[in-house]
């Protein structure tokens, strides 16, 4: 792997670094980072051994690939020298809502620009990241992109027009799962279980069900039917969910997040 420079050293940048090192894609000496003044770069360097150059030129000059991992609102305020220093380099952005056209304006001389949408399970290597590129990637650059984003979990290439929907589904989706887990816990408590027991049962039920779907590849409706007996307890619960249009609510939730992503990206 060529040398990689991170502009930003927060949770996602740290997760990528951790994944790259854990998978032995590259040594710490091939990675370097700076932060926006929150001291995250120093902490990441102390923990992993990656470099923390004091000057932006010292960060970018030896790098082949630049990973934009700062806050999206910080893009406009980046050091003016970055555009020239990134000349000829691959630029990979994980900035939410920043479109390829906007990134290309900031890095007009980059050899290519990639926009990615990871999700929070990437912090433990269990995420899924969708990406798109300004121009078709060379085989070498495709390998770089897949290695960097693969440090967070699974990777999927899509068209940029699909990334708002990705944001609404998998980008925001972990929050929906967390909310469902909390609701299941609270429901168990309301049904008479002690809160710690309700939480353990809710958590393990979600984990086990997800593993079953992943390992068997069986459609969720089929697995649902396996659990459901005529006039049984599961059917009673499913009828209540259907009466409240549970699927319709989830559809509205994802579409609302998708539309908000489109709004936020209009000027990005």
Distance CA 267, CA 86 (A): 23
**Which CATH number covers residue 117?**
3.40.50.720
Q: Which of 148, 172, 157 is nearest to 264 (CA)?
A: 172
Residue 245: the pLDDT is 98
For residues 257 and 95, give the distance between their C-alpha atoms in angstroms, rounded to a whole number. 16
Does 108 share its domain with 186?
no
Are residues 155 and 183 located together in one domain of the fold?
A: no
State the pLDDT at residue 18: 97
Q: Of 125, 115, 137, which is closest to residue 67 (Cα–Cα)?
A: 115
Domain end point (choices 126, 160, 194): 160
Q: Which residue, 112, 159, 104, is CA-closest to 140?
A: 112
Closest CA to 252 of 174, 183, 168, 133: 168
Residue 28 lies in a domain: yes
48: which residues sit within 8 A by CB, 6+ positions away?
17, 18, 21, 28, 31
Output phi, psi for 6, to 5 deg: -105, 125
Write down which residue in 129, 160, 191 finishes a domain. 160
pLDDT digits (tens, 9 = 90+) for 109-128: 999 999 999 999 999 999 99
Counting as low any pLDDT under 50, the low residues of the chain are none
Last residue within a domain, chosen from 106, 129, 160: 160
pLDDT of residue 267: 65
**How much is the pLDDT for 268?**
63
Element (H, E) at 7: strand 4-7
Q: What is the DSSP track for 14-75?
A: HHHHHHHHHTTSS-GGGEEEE-SSSSHHHHHHHHH--B--SSHHHHHTT-SEEEE-S-GGGG
Q: Quick one: 238 and 134 in the same domain?
A: no
Alpha carbon of 256 to those of 159, 165, 174, 245, 263: distances in Å? Answer: 20, 10, 15, 16, 11
Query: Are 99 and 211 contained in the same domain?
Result: no
Instruction: Select from 89, 115, 111, 119 the least CA-distant residue to 102.
Output: 115
CATH number at residue 239: 1.10.3730.10
CA pair distance 86, 4, nearest whole angstrom: 12
Phi and psi angles of residue 98, each rounded to the nearest 5 degrees, phi first:
-90, 110
Q: Is residue 165 part of a domain?
A: no
Q: Write out the two tokens for 255.
A: 């579409």
Is the Cα torsion angle 136, 142, 148, 154 positive or negative in sign?
Answer: positive
Q: Which of 255, 92, 254 is nearest to 174 (CA)?
A: 254
Tokens of 99: 């479109």
Q: Are 163 and 117 in contact (CB under 8 A)?
A: yes
Domain around 244: 171-265
Number of domains in the chain: 2
The predicted structure's pLDDT at residue 37: 83
Predicted pLDDT of residue 46: 96
- Per-residue model confidence (pLDDT) at position 1: 62
């Amino acid at each position: 792997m060529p040398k990689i420079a991170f502009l930003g050293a927060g949770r996602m940048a740290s997760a990528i670094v951790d994944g790259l090192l854990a998978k032995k894609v590259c040594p710490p000496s091939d990675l370097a980072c700076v932060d926006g003044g929150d001291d995250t770069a120093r902490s990441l360097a102390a923990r992993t051994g990656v470099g923390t150059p004091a000057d932006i030129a010292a960060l970018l000059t030896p790098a082949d690939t630049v990973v934009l991992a700062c806050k999206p609102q910080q893009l406009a305020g980046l050091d003016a020298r970055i555009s020239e220093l990134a000349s000829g380099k691959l630029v990979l952005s994980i900035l939410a809502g920043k479109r390829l056209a906007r990134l290309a304006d900031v890095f007009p001389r980059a050899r290519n620009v990639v926009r990615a949408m990871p999700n929070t399970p990437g912090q433990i290597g269990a995420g899924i990241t969708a990406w798109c590129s300004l121009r078709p990637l060379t085989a070498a650059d495709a390998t770089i992109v897949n290695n960097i984003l693969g440090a967070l979990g699974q990777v999927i290439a899509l068209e940029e027009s699909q990334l708002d929907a990705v944001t609404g589904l998998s980008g925001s989706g972990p929050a929906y799962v967390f909310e469902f887990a909390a609701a299941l816990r609270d429901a168990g408590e309301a049904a008479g279980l002690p809160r710690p027991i309700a939480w353990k049962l809710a958590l393990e039920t979600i984990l086990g069900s997800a593993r079953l779907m992943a390992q068997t590849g069986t459609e969720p409706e089929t697995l649902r039917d396996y659990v459901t007996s005529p006039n049984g307890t599961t059917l009673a619960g499913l009828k209540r969910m259907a009466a409240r249009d549970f699927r319709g609510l989830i559809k509205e939730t994802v579409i609302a997040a998708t539309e908000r992503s489109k709004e936020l990206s209009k000027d990005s």
